[in-house]
C-alpha cells in the first residue's frame, strides 16, 4: 500500500526524514559537543508540563544564556530534552524545561540544541503553500524530477554581464553562465580551482541586470562570504550599492568582506545609518528594563531565601517536637520495662502450692516485657532519626541565617516588587513599540535589497528574507541535505541554480547512522535526508543496484532512480567532464569547470521507474 502523504509529493517523505534526523540528534550521546555541567539541582516550581529548576554551576558559559539548549541528567542514556537556562545574580542557574529531572537532580548537563533549524524546517514543510513567503512548489519539484523546467540559453549575455567578452572565462564557463541566464533550472559542477566562484558571481550579476531579485545561499558562512565578496566587486559601481543593493543576512565570517564592504552590505549597519536616534532610545530603554528586571530578580531571590528560612524554622520546630516525642516514648517504655522487671523479681522462681499460678503471672509479665522492649526500640530509632533531622535543620538554618542579611541588603532601597513588575511591563511595551518603529526601517532596508547572501540554515529559519525572491542560487549544493535544498529552491519564483563539487563531502547527517532507529527509518534517512539535490551523484549512488525498498506510489518511484533511466537532453553517451590531465597548460584550472548539458540545467533526472506490472524499457527507448 502506498504511504499516505500529507500535502504534495514529496513533502511527507521529506518531513519524515527531518523528524528522524531530529530524533537521531536527541538520542545522540553528544560526545564531542561542548557541555555545561550542573549539580545540586532542585525543583523550584512546576506549571503544567513546564518545570523550573535551580542548579549550582562552576563552569557556566555566558554564550549558553542566549542559545537554544538541551538537557538531561548526567548518567541518563535517554533522549535530550529542550531547555532554557539563565544565570541568576547569586550565581545559580535557572533551568526551564519540560523534562522531568526529579525533585533533586544531583547532576545534569546542558548542550547546544542543534535541532532548532530542523524544527523550523519541519514547520515550513507543514505549511508549504500557506507560509510567509509562499513556496513555489513547481520550482521545488524540479529538484526531485517533477515538471519540465525551461532549458534555454541567453543569446545576449553582454547586455546583462558588462564586459562579458573580455572576461577571463573559458568555453565551458561561458556556457554555464549563458545557460543559467536562459533557463529555469541549472546544475553546475566545478571542483575547487575551476573558477566556479567567478561563474556563480557572473550569473548573479546577470540575474540582477535581468531585473530579478537573487537569494544566494551556501551551507557555511565562509562559503557565503567568499562568493559575496566577488559579487560586490562586480556590483560596487551600481548607484544603489551604497544603500543596500547587495546585503548579507547573518554574521560576516570573512574579514576581507567585512573590511571592504561591511558598511554597505551589513543589514544592521545600513539600518544604523538610518536610525541613530531611535537606536539610542532603544538602548536606553533596554538598559533601564534590564535594571528593573535585575531588581525583580533580587526581590525574588530575597523572597525565596525568606521563604526557605521560614520553612527551615518550621521544620526545625517540627524536628524538635519529634525529638521530644521520641524521648518521651523512650522514657515511658523504659519505665514500663523497669516496672515489669520489678514485678517479675517479686514473684521470683515459682515453687510450692501456687507455683503454677505464679508461672502464669510470670508468662504474662514476660509477654508484656517483650512489647515494652519493642516499643523502646521503636522510639529509640525515631529518636535517632529526629535528632539527625534536627541537626541538619540547625545546620541549614545557620547557613541561611548567615546569607540572608546580605541577600536582604541587596533589596534595600529598591521599589516594591509589584511596582517593579508594573514598570517592567511598561518598559517592555515601550521597547516593543520602539522595535516596531525600528522594524519599519528594517523593512525599508530589505526592500532595497536586490542580491542577498546568507546560509541555507538562516534561509530555513527566517520567515522573510526578501520581499520577493525571483532566483535562488545554492552554492556548495553537494553539502546541503535534500529537504533543505527542496525548501529553499521553492522560495524562487522564476529560477533555480545549484552549483558545487558534488564529488566532495556530502551534508553531515545522523539519521542514517542512528543505531537506535529501525532499519526502515535509517533507509528512509538515506533516501530523503542524506542525498543532495544533484542528479549526477544520485545516479552514481544508485547505479547497478535496486533500492532496498521500492515505494509503490508511482510518484514516489521518481525519487528512487536507477542508472538506465538517468537521461539528459542534448549529447548522450559522451563523458563531458575534463580531468586534471585534460586542463590546458599554463595553469588554467578553470577549464575543468563543466557546463556541459550533462551537468547543467538540462537534466531529465528522476525519470519515473516502471509502474506495477510494467516492464522496464530498454535504454534506447526511453524519453530524453
Q: Give me the domains of the chain, ranges plus CATH numbers.
A: 33-121 (2.40.30), 279-419 (1.10.287.620)
Cell digits of residue 254:
570573512
Of 178, 167, 255, 250, residue with least CA distance to 210: 178
CB burial class (10 A; 0-12, 13-18, 19+) of residue 488?
buried
CA distance 217 to 200: 11
pLDDT recorded at residue 129:
66
pLDDT recorded at residue 605:
37
Of 568, 552, 597, 618, residue with least CA distance to 5: 552
CA distance 26 to 81: 7
pLDDT recorded at residue 365:
85
Q: What single-letter DSSP state applies at residue 614?
A: P
End-to-end CA distance of the chain: 30
CB burial class (10 A; 0-12, 13-18, 19+) of residue 620?
exposed
Q: For strands 93-97 and 451-455, give the pairing.
A: unpaired
CB burial class (10 A; 0-12, 13-18, 19+) of residue 101?
buried
What is the four-CA torsion angle of 240, 242, 248, 250, rounded to 10 degrees?
A: -140
CB burial class (10 A; 0-12, 13-18, 19+) of residue 198?
buried
CA distance 478 to 495: 19
Of 136, 129, 73, residue with least CA distance to 100: 73
pLDDT recorded at residue 575:
26
CB burial class (10 A; 0-12, 13-18, 19+) of residue 359?
middle
Residues 618 and 207 sit within 8 Å (Cβ to Cβ): no
Q: Could you tell me which residues come within 8 angstroms of residue 125 by beta carbon, excluding any fewer than 6 positions away?
A: 7, 11, 14, 15, 18, 483, 487
Residues 110 and 85 sit within 8 Å (Cβ to Cβ): yes
Of 193, 200, 188, residue with least CA distance to 161: 200
pLDDT recorded at residue 368:
87
Q: How many CB atoms lie within 10 A of CB 405?
A: 8
Cell digits of residue 17:
526524514
Residues of the chain whose pLDDT is less than 70?
A: 1-6, 129-133, 535-624
What pTM did the predictor assign?
A: 0.64
Cell 577549464 -> residue: 591
Amino acid at each position: 500500500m502506498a504511504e499516505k502523504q500529507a500535502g504534495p509529493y514529496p513533502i511527507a517523505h521529506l518531513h519524515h526524514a527531518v523528524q528522524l534526523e531530529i530524533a537521531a540528534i536527541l538520542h545522540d550521546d553528544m560526545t564531542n559537543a561542548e557541555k555545561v555541567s550542573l549539580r545540586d539541582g532542585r525543583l523550584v516550581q512546576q506549571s503544567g508540563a513546564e518545570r523550573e529548576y535551580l542548579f549550582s554551576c562552576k563552569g557556566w558559559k555566558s554564550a549558553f544564556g542566549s542559545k537554544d539548549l538541551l538537557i538531561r541528567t548526567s548518567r541518563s542514556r535517554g533522549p535530550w530534552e529542550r531547555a532554557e537556562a539563565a544565570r541568576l545574580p547569586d550565581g545559580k542557574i535557572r533551568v526551564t524545561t519540560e523534562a522531568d529531572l526529579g525533585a533533586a537532580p544531583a547532576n545534569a548537563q546542558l548542550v547546544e540544541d542543534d535541532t532548532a533549524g530542523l524544527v523550523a524546517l519541519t514547520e515550513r514543510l507543514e505549511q508549504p503553500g500557506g507560509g510567509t513567503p509562499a513556496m513555489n512548489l513547481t520550482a521545488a519539484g524540479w529538484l526531485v524530477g517533477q515538471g519540465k523546467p525551461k532549458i534555454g540559453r541567453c543569446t545576449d549575455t553582454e547586455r546583462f554581464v558588462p564586459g562579458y567578452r573580455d572576461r577571463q572565462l573559458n568555453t565551458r564557463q561561458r556556457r554555464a553562465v549563458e545557460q543559467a541566464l536562459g533557463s529555469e533550472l541549472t546544475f553546475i559542477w566545478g571542483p575547487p580551482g575551476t573558477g566556479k566562484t567567478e561563474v556563480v558571481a557572473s550569473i548573479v550579476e546577470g540575474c540582477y541586470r535581468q531585473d530579478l531579485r537573487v537569494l544566494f545561499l551556501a551551507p557555511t558562512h565562509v562559503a557565503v562570504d567568499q562568493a559575496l565578496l566577488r559579487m560586490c566587486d562586480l556590483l560596487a559601481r551600481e548607484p544603489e550599492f551604497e544603500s543596500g543593493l547587495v546585503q548579507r543576512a547573518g554574521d560576516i565570517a570573512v574579514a576581507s568582506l567585512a573590511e571592504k564592504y561591511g558598511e554597505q552590505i551589513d543589514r544592521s549597519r545600513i539600518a544604523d545609518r538610518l536610525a541613530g536616534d531611535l537606536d539610542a532610545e532603544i538602548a536606553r530603554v533596554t538598559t533601564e528594563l534590564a535594571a528593573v528586571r535585575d531588581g525583580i530578580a533580587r526581590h525574588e531571590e530575597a523572597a525565596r531565601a525568606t521563604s526557605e528560612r521560614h520553612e527551615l524554622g518550621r521544620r526545625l520546630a517540627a524536628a524538635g517536637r519529634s525529638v521530644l516525642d521520641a524521648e518521651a516514648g523512650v522514657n515511658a517504655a523504659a519505665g514500663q520495662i523497669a516496672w515489669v522487671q520489678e514485678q517479675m523479681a517479686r514473684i521470683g522462681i515459682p515453687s510450692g502450692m501456687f507455683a503454677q499460678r505464679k508461672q502464669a503471672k510470670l508468662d504474662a509479665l514476660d509477654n508484656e516485657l517483650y512489647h515494652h522492649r519493642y516499643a523502646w526500640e521503636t522510639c529509640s530509632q525515631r529518636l535517632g532519626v529526629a535528632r539527625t533531622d534536627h541537626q541538619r535543620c540547625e545546620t541549614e538554618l545557620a547557613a541561611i541565617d548567615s546569607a540572608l542579611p546580605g541577600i536582604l541588603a541587596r533589596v534595600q532601597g529598591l521599589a516594591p516588587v509589584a511596582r517593579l513588575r508594573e514598570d517592567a511591563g511598561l518598559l517592555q511595551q515601550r521597547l516593543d513599540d520602539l522595535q516596531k518603529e525600528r522594524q519599519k526601517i528594517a523593512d525599508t532596508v530589505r526592500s532595497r535589497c536586490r542580491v542577498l547572501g546568507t546560509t541555507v540554515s538562516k534561509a530555513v529559519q527566517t520567515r522573510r528574507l526578501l520581499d520577493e525572491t525571483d532566483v535562488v542560487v545554492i552554492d556548495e549544493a553537494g553539502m546541503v541535505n535534500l529537504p533543505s535544498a527542496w525548501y529553499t529552491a521553492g522560495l524562487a519564483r522564476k529560477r533555480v541554480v545549484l552549483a558545487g563539487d558534488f564529488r566532495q563531502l556530502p551534508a553531515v547527517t545522523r539519521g542514517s547512522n542512528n543505531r537506535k532507529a529501525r532499519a526502515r527509518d535509517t533507509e528512509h534517512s538515506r533516501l530523503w535526508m542524506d542525498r543532495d539535490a544533484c542528479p549526477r551523484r544520485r545516479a552514481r549512488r544508485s547505479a547497478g543496484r535496486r533500492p532496498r525498498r521500492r515505494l509503490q506510489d508511482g510518484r514516489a518511484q521518481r525519487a528512487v532512480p536507477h542508472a538506465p533511466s538517468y537521461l539528459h537532453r542534448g549529447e548522450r553517451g559522451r563523458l563531458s567532464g575534463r580531468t586534471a590531465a585534460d586542463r590546458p597548460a599554463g595553469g588554467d584550472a578553470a577549464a575543468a569547470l563543466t557546463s556541459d548539458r550533462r551537468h547543467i540545467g538540462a537534466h531529465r533526472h528522476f525519470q519515473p521507474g516502471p509502474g506495477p506490472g510494467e516492464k522496464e524499457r530498454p535504454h534506447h527507448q526511453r524519453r530524453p
